[in-house]
């Protein structure tokens, strides 16, 4: 564990995510997010919250580099992303895990194949990750659902599969958009414990949610979005 931390964060003086006066507008409309300046430190845990439509998902997409800022500077893992190549972008995304609000599971792949997808696209042999994927599926309670296709899973099962897919690569940064929105409170607590566990292993975690009961379980930093601006509760 110790060696793992030392190895992984030798370049760790730099924050995992750093935003400097970032603004986003869609087309010719008004800025939906403006003057965002914040950092996400290595091995940190934070909630991203705010009312519906405040721009939580847009902020996560900015970090994922699927939305480009109209102004400002974004750096990920210490690297300015304004001029990175496609290969570098792929490299950065491989260090991130993401749980989408709408799950984004591939309907033609089984639960097992969906969870193993990040490893498969990295060209890894199935024998090298099979046991690990099965173990994670069992941990999130999908051990008996691994051969099923997503359309036959319940909302909660899909959500757990999406979380497992994000965790399987043990990312440096985990972005989760309403990860407990479709599960019962006890499973929500278990999933939160999983995120905490992952954080202890060195992953920076950002959970976007407006579920106060979830946030009240942990005394961590809150990034609060409102009126397009960010306010930080330390």
Partner 1 sequence: MNAPSQPRLRKAAAPDGPKRSLPASLSRNAPLVPVDSAGGQALAAVIAILTFLAALCAGGAELVSASSAQWRSEIAREVTIQIRPNPQRSIEQDVERATALARQAPGVEKAQAFTKEESERLLEPWLGTGLDFNDLPVPRLIVIKIQEGAKPDFGNLRQSLQREVPGATLDDHALWVSRLSTMANTIIGIGVFLVVLVLVAAGLAVIFATRGAMAGNREVVEVLHFVGANDDFIAREFQRRFFRLGLRGSAIGAGAALVLTLLLGLVTRSLRASPTGDQIEALFGAFTISWSGYAVVVLIALLVALITGIVSRLTVRRFLNESG
Q: Is 26 in the site for partner 1 (CB under 8 A)?
A: no
Q: Are 37 and 20 in contact (CB under 8 A)?
A: yes
- Which residues lie below 8 Å from residue 60, measured CB to CB, with a gap of 6+? 48, 98, 175, 177, 206, 208
Q: Nearest Cα to 39, choosing from 71, 15, 68, 22? A: 15
Minimum distance, C-beta of residue 86 to partner 1, in the bound complex (Å): 6
Distance CA 90, CA 97 (A): 12
Nearer to partner 1, 34 or 165 (CB): 165
Per-residue interface string for the shown chain with partner 1, residues 141-160, x marking contact by CB under 8 A: x-xx-xx-------------
State yes or no: residue 35 binds partner 1 (CB under 8 A): no
Query: Residue 33 belongs to what H/E stretch?
Result: strand 31-40
164 binds partner 1 (CB under 8 A): no
SS (H, E, C) 86-108: HHHHHHHHCCEEEECCCCCCCCC
Question: What are 19's strand-pairing partners?
Answer: 38, 74
* Among the listed residues 135, 189, 182, 128, the one whose alpha carbon sits nearest the alpha carbon of residue 160: 182
Beta carbon nearer to partner 1, 71 or 138: 138
138 part of the interface to partner 1, by CB under 8 A: yes
Residue count, binding to partner 1 (CB under 8 A) = 54
Looking at beta carbons only, is 118 or 179 nearer to partner 1? Answer: 118
8 binds partner 1 (CB under 8 A): yes
- Distance (Å, whole) CA 38 – CA 190: 29
Q: Which of 32, 64, 73, 148 binds partner 1 (CB under 8 A)?
A: 64
The residue ranges that bind partner 1 (CB under 8 A) are: 1, 4, 8, 64, 66, 86-87, 90, 93-95, 98, 104, 106, 108-110, 112-113, 116-118, 120-123, 126-127, 130-136, 138-139, 141, 143-144, 146-147, 165, 169-172, 194, 197-198, 200-203
């Amino acid at each position: 564990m110790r060696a793992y931390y030392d190895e992984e964060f030798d370049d760790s003086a730099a924050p995992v995510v750093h935003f400097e006066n970032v603004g986003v507008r869609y087309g010719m409309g008004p800025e939906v997010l403006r003057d965002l300046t914040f950092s996400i430190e290595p091995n940190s845990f934070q909630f991203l919250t705010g009312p519906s439509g405040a721009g939580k998902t847009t902020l996560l997409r900015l970090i994922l580099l699927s939305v480009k800022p109209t102004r400002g500077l974004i750096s990920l893992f210490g690297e300015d992303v304004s001029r990175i190549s496609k290969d570098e972008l792929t490299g950065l995304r491989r260090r991130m895990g993401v749980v989408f609000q709408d799950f984004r599971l591939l309907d033609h792949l089984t639960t097992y194949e969906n969870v193993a997808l990040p490893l498969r696209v990295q060209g890894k042999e199935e024998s090298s990750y099979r046991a690990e994927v099965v173990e994670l599926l069992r941990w999130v309670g999908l051990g008996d659902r691994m051969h099923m296709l997503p359309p036959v899973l319940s909302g909660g099962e899909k959500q757990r599969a999406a979380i497992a897919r994000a965790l399987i690569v043990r990312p440096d940064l985990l972005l989760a958009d309403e990860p407990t929105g479709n599960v019962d409170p006890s499973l929500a607590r278990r999933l939160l414990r999983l995120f905490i566990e992952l954080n202890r292993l060195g992953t920076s975690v950002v959970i976007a949610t407006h579920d106060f009961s979830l946030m009240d379980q942990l005394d961590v930093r809150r990034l609060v979005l409102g009126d397009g601006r960010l306010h930080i509760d330390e």
